[in-house]
Structure 1
């Protein structure tokens, strides 16, 4: 069992375990019930969480209620304490490293909320290094303004920031970019109650040391400029990727780590999903000189560019753009992306994917080529980038302005919107979350934290998403391995190897083999033949499901579990499977779906199962035929349909027939449990006896089918009894309750029992507007009303006192399930 916490409006996937009592040690396995109670629900801590770590964020289409996870709570508490200490000493509060996707931005909001009270309303200056990041982070804070009890403001310039700081002595959350600090050397403020929050604190621009250009001029590092501009402020850095071991400046500016929440812990906690890698560079057939140019670009990325090399870099960028943007290369790239997407990713989750282009010109070429290949994708694929006055005229309508980009962001975040593929260059590669996004096609050299931040776009949690897939067309494998060297040892061990050929694919093969061994003795070779008909495949799936239904219950659960694992790994490595593996895994998945739908909690719809299996095979093996496992009739099956019962009785797959009948009968009994207590108990007990006899080997599956069909007829007759007596459904339920003890019929005329039934039902109908479920006094009044009415008829007779309890129980059932009747 799991002990998890979440808000009442959150989906189950967003509930999380509370894995520590005091923040000093994480239970890395499943957190215990005791840890949740002593950790999260300790009296003072719970009040603290409700006050400072629970918020409502304005979002479209509806607001979101957010509860802090345990790692955010304890890390923010630490950060608050180190900041208070920093204000009394050297102003270095430390670095807050929580891996990408684990809620870093929300942690900032919780941090600001707490410090507002602990430090008597300080002023916060939030710094990013790009305008789009500034907009994204500002937007998140603005969406929580009621929680923060103040409205954040974006500084339009250095002068504007200076005015904002000068015009108040307390409060204020101001957003700015680092570039605004470079506009002047003059101090912005000498106040000592300013807290500077730097997002992604380890970027190269945070240099402290001065550099001397070739012409003799001195260039200050941005960190030095910020320090000089706000000399008495305190500084804290928030980052989603680790500080490089060689990076001394970041530590000099901010101090050491406050808290580390690495990838391993985040994935284990379910806060993020792992990222996997697929290499398709060879599919482009790039010439050797092109590959050498790309390698040179990676070498350049390994070292942070200095100001004096910018002009040289611009020339090199132009050369690289010409190489990567060659028409034949773009055509090969786009054909491969389209093929990979359609065959492997289009139907995974919501089909959202991102293409990262080298530059804006190449991004437009990719867009135009994809539309040339797929003209009907005009709503499916969009370009997301900023515009320029020098852009060609035809670009303007495709790029649009700020409002258009905001609309594209809304569409991409909407899982039901037809926009599925976003072509980006720099935008949306940091700070932009689309949980269902599972695929990223990379055609841009990236390295270090820029690379790790970009690929983290696909690591968000969404339903049963196994992980995100990064498809490489530019050779980022070495850069990935290099970037991982700055991560924790367990991260390097767990995620140092991301290649699907070495991770997901071997795991898939292992689970496929386990499933094949469980199916030993069953011949499904007809399904794997390329020319197999839809009927042959449908027969194989039906026979396969029948075979598995013949297993012991524990073996059935084992098959479902292993087939589920196989499906999850297949979702990541489908493009590298052999034809045999694709067909065999599709067959096993079809059996798993059939079994889980028949045995699952959802209402059984054989038509839906047919549709689901057909869609599954169409997506996984491009099977175009319609799969009819049970029938090709349009209308749904019913246990009250004689033709259906006859067809089930004649099925050769007796195990499957038994499961179908027992499922349908169980559904009918569950309807009785909400409407007719007496019939529910009667048929439930009968069903239990039949199945126990079968499990104990006293009767065969054919005998069970016969018994269940007889039971189906008896349920039909029970439903018809109301028509014969002239009673509607709810009246029949009370009649059955009144006459449950057989001896009751000996004491009353038939007409009297009908009269009691109708009067009782009518009185309850007249009072159905009362909120029975909320008011105990109302329910007590209902019981008194029933007893008074029954007293008029001297019911129950002497010696049958328990009969009234049955009537009262039926009345309670009527109250709790009143929607069944109206």
Structure 2
């Protein structure tokens, strides 16, 4: 196993891996021509390669006083990804799509910084610049610190990087000035990202400029135009979470933009993500055989992969499933093998409403709060020399409010001296908990909060953070060692949520090597299935068939229940961010009323037929409606075959 030190420090020198990876695992693959590590002297240490590493990749790390404290050296996958990306752009031109699937712990911040600078300085064989500017998007907190510092640190010439924020002037004006002024790299937040995309698309179409757009896993809540576009690519469940304070990522914004418009010539898109969604894979993945149609054996795959498995085996992140325990299993272990009562799957709206009531019932929450607090004190809190923190993940903002109130009450009764915070977006109206709407800054919830929750939670006075959608993604706190899950998780959401725990931590001789997850709502099989998708590399089982939508539309159009004007009216109301619920209801009501009257007419016809002793005709009346035969809207009777 080839290694390199971060710096020489005698017996305390820490060596980091510099391996190619072995089919998704750590190490190096078998070399049929010699040593597994031959790539070091054959490729990495070759004259041109080594000079490039010294000249373009190595950069100094400085402390707050700007004193040099070390050097940043690329890991193998960072060097490999950026070099392959540069070669692909030179070969394919400035209109490509590239999906970089790099796990948490991959050093994505530096990878993005290197990519931005390499593409900004890239010239073709005629010595002409490939890109006029490179646009980089990240979240607001990272832009202020890590990513911006990395990009500026790698800057060789002062003044080539511009940062677009919400504070100084109009976003569109700042962007236009930066892009027109020849800034090589323009860094923006996810909030300004839609403006940046529109600007580069307009400039590419009108002035012939060429751009590279780099998006990382930034997460943020979205409103207005960006939110309306997202309705085209997010599922109903994801949209509901967004409305309940959830957050979306830069890849969602990219996917929405790509779905809304055809790919613009002269723009390359590079998406960095550890957990690509199916839509992202379809839009930015690459078919092994580009000339052949999409299908089994020729499905889109990422351009470059650094897997979760390799990151775990190389020690950069933790395996959060090592101490994952569903509560049903914990109950059996505690009760000597006794099984919990199985609950039926929620099959109807009535059952869902009942289960929601059960989850919100004070007694039910109080029982779980006691379990969580006692487990935290016994198993999690002693970790990291007493500094370990935990997160509670619940279904809704109302649940988050009630959990916080119940947890504060339990802790006070026990005189435990634990500090808790609750994070959610907007206001929560819950008259059972209090007469006034609750917000994050409500004294009844977060009385000790000082400023931003991210920053406050870092302090030693806070131990448990309760979240509902907010902070389930894009929240990095290395001291997190415990998680308590009281909501259904599936697929990518399960991976992103539980991965809040996987960040490594080492300080003062204390190393994070243990995490605990206690899950009240999911099975081990479902969670394992979700993680398996991203453990080595994301794979598509199939590609969405666009003809399915067209076929369904043709069937619905043929029924005659609505006309084009009514469809357009609903679409305008649904996509207008300023539209009220009343306008949407007014657009849908005529069609719904027509259908309901038709259904009632069919039922009346069925009852009349059965009363006349004609069961066959009665059954035919209802079946015709159910299978989609149109009804006459003027007389509300079935048309003859």
**Distance verdict in 2 for CA 1:221–1:23, change over 3 Å:** closer
**Distance verdict in 2 for CA 1:189–1:225, change over 3 Å:** farther
1:278 alignment partner in structure 2: 325
> Which TM-score applies when normalising by structure 1?
0.46
Separation in 2, partners of 1:39, 1:114: 19
Give 5+ residue unaligned stretches, structure 1.
212-219, 297-311, 493-822
**Distance verdict in 2 for CA 1:227–1:491, change over 3 Å:** closer
**Distance verdict in 2 for CA 1:98–1:183, change over 3 Å:** closer
Separation in 1, partners of 2:285, 2:345: 36
Give the CA deviation at 1:452: 1.0
**Distance verdict in 2 for CA 1:136–1:326, change over 3 Å:** farther
**Distance verdict in 2 for CA 1:188–1:324, change over 3 Å:** farther
Give the CA deviation at 1:100: 2.4
Asked if residue 258 in structure 1 is aligned to residue 269 in structure 2, the reply is no
Asked if residue 96 in structure 1 is aligned to residue 100 in structure 2, the reply is yes
Give the CA deviation at 1:396: 2.4
Separation in 1, partners of 2:22, 2:319: 27
Equivalent residues of 1:202, 1:250 under 8 A apart? no
Separation in 2, partners of 1:230, 1:418: 51
1:123 alignment partner in structure 2: 133
Give the CA deviation at 1:373: 1.6
Cα-to-partner distance string for 1:55-91 (whole Å, 9 max, x where unaligned) = 4568889998543322222122212222344434xx2
**Which of 448, 451, 472 does residue 519 from structure 2 map onto?**
472
Give the CA deviation at 1:202: 13
**Which of 380, 386, 392 does residue 419 from structure 2 map onto?**
380
**Distance verdict in 2 for CA 1:109–1:478, change over 3 Å:** same
2:213 counterpart SS class: strand
Give the CA deviation at 1:318: 8.0
1:431 alignment partner in structure 2: 474
5 Å-filtered alignment, 1:206-245, equals 222-224=256-258, 227=261, 231-244=265-278
**Which of 464, 478, 487 does residue 421 from structure 1 map onto?**
464
**Distance verdict in 2 for CA 1:27–1:343, change over 3 Å:** closer
**Distance verdict in 2 for CA 1:94–1:432, change over 3 Å:** same
2:313 alignment partner in structure 1: 268
2:149 alignment partner in structure 1: 143
2:480 counterpart SS class: coil
Q: Which has the greater radius of gyration?
A: 1
Asked if residue 67 in structure 1 is aligned to residue 84 in structure 2, the reply is no
Give the CA deviation at 1:36: 6.0
**Which of 204, 208, 212 does residue 195 from structure 1 map onto?**
212
Give the CA deviation at 1:174: 3.2
Separation in 2, partners of 1:61, 1:337: 43
**Distance verdict in 2 for CA 1:465–1:370, change over 3 Å:** same
Equivalent residues of 1:264, 1:491 under 8 A apart? no
**Distance verdict in 2 for CA 1:100–1:183, change over 3 Å:** closer
1:470 counterpart SS class: strand
**Distance verdict in 2 for CA 1:439–1:117, change over 3 Å:** same
**Distance verdict in 2 for CA 1:249–1:40, change over 3 Å:** closer
1:197 counterpart SS class: strand
Separation in 2, partners of 1:136, 1:75: 22
Give the CA deviation at 1:235: 0.9
Separation in 2, partners of 1:29, 1:134: 39
Separation in 2, partners of 1:369, 1:62: 47
2:590 alignment partner in structure 1: none
Give the CA deviation at 1:435: 2.9
Separation in 2, partners of 1:488, 1:331: 36
**Which of 335, 345, 355 does residue 380 from structure 2 map onto?**
345
1:238 counterpart SS class: strand
**Distance verdict in 2 for CA 1:179–1:269, change over 3 Å:** same
Equivalent residues of 1:95, 1:257 under 8 A apart? yes
Equivalent residues of 1:245, 1:486 under 8 A apart? no
Separation in 2, partners of 1:326, 1:373: 16
1:486 alignment partner in structure 2: 533
**Distance verdict in 2 for CA 1:5–1:227, change over 3 Å:** farther
1:106 alignment partner in structure 2: 110
1:4 alignment partner in structure 2: 4
1:154 alignment partner in structure 2: 165
2:188 alignment partner in structure 1: 175
Give the CA deviation at 1:176: 4.3
**Distance verdict in 2 for CA 1:288–1:24, change over 3 Å:** closer
Give the CA deviation at 1:478: 4.1
Asked if residue 333 in structure 1 is aligned to residue 368 in structure 2, the reply is yes
2:382 counterpart SS class: coil
Q: Which fold has the larger relative contact order, with Cα–Cα distance below 8 Å and residues 6 or more apart in sequence?
A: 2
Cα-to-partner distance string for 1:97-132 (whole Å, 9 max, x where unaligned) = 11223222331122112222225464233356xxxx
Give the CA deviation at 1:48: 3.1
Give 5+ residue unaligned stretches, structure 2.
124-128, 156-160, 221-226, 236-253, 291-299, 332-338, 430-435, 540-641
Equivalent residues of 2:481, 2:514 under 8 A apart? yes
Asked if residue 461 in structure 1 is aligned to residue 467 in structure 2, the reply is no
Equivalent residues of 1:458, 1:468 under 8 A apart? yes
2:437 alignment partner in structure 1: 392
**Distance verdict in 2 for CA 1:455–1:241, change over 3 Å:** same
Give the CA deviation at 1:371: 1.9
Separation in 1, partners of 2:439, 2:477: 29
**Distance verdict in 2 for CA 1:176–1:418, change over 3 Å:** closer
Separation in 1, partners of 2:519, 2:371: 11
**Distance verdict in 2 for CA 1:14–1:87, change over 3 Å:** farther
> Which TM-score applies when normalising by structure 2?
0.58
Separation in 1, partners of 2:173, 2:523: 41
1:97 counterpart SS class: strand
Structure with higher helix content: 1
Give the CA deviation at 1:6: 1.2
Give the CA deviation at 1:331: 0.6
1:292 alignment partner in structure 2: 345
Cα-to-partner distance string for 1:451-487 (whole Å, 9 max, x where unaligned) = 2122122122234433533221111534323324534
**Distance verdict in 2 for CA 1:490–1:107, change over 3 Å:** closer
**Distance verdict in 2 for CA 1:344–1:394, change over 3 Å:** same
1:370 counterpart SS class: helix
Cα-to-partner distance string for 1:772-814 (whole Å, 9 max, x where unaligned) = xxxxxxxxxxxxxxxxxxxxxxxxxxxxxxxxxxxxxxxxxxx
Separation in 1, partners of 2:198, 2:96: 22
**Distance verdict in 2 for CA 1:136–1:207, change over 3 Å:** same
